[in-house]
Amino acid sequence: MASPQVVVLDYGSGNLRSAERALARAGADVVVTGDSSAAQDADGLVVPGVGAFATCMAGLRAVDGPRVIGRRLAGGRPVLGICVGMQVLFESGLEHGRETEGCGEWPGVVERLTAPVLPHMGWNTVEAAPGSALFAGVEQERFYFVHSYAARRFELAYDASSPIPAPAVTWAEHGEPFVAAVENGPLCATQFHPEKSGDAGARLLANWVAAL
């Protein structure tokens, strides 16, 4: 059986090569590109992200990223956001008093964490959502985080008549609870870096690739 084709979206932000290598080890046929047609057509799309919310959104818009993400999800085609690539899926980000519009796939604002030490940098446990497919086999493991901002709430109202299961939200804590990962039908995202999270991150990516 052919390996699933995965595009790592190149929009000027993110650990592109480390994500590429990690996904290849997880069993994917990986291409790093900013081409919107390739991103639209792949079996899976990975949206990485490092740095400021506003900068990442500007880069995404330059490669038509929000439209590509929206069209993929409308067709039930998998998308995985990583770090700021997760944050930009929310309605907006608030940094240094400036609010920037996000992709709007989920309601809510990404804000600076209230914690004694920022950035939150290093390994942390998570409280995996019950029955999580993404965290299968690594529910008790630690993952690698580097961030000062996060979604502190997950506000998506669930429609019980929807064919898509209720979102599975995984939490972590640094000063306060924050959203560490979400599984919402074809849209998944992690605040941590699975590509930098050793064996646990490799297993999580393999779980995602296997579901494509």
Label residues 111-140 b or e (16+ Cβ within 10 Å = b): bebeeeeeebeeebebebbeebebbeebee
Q: Is 188 known to be catalytic?
A: no
Pairwise CA distance, residues 45 & 35, whole Å: 12
Is 195 in the active site?
Answer: yes
The one-character DSSP state at 48 is: -
As beta bridge partners, residue 196 has: none
Active-site option among 20, 105, 183, 195: 195
Catalytic one among 83, 141, 147, 188?
83
Residue count of the chain: 212
- From residue 62, how far is each of 19, 66, 86, 171, 193 by CA, in Å? 21, 10, 18, 31, 24
Q: Which residues of 13-32 are buried (b: 16+ CB within 10 A; e: fewer)?
A: bbbbeebbebbeebebebeb
83 is catalytic: yes
- Could you give phi then psi for residue 126, rounded to 5 degrees? -130, 160
**In one letter, which amino acid is 92?**
S
User: What residues are labeled active site?
Assistant: 83, 193, 195
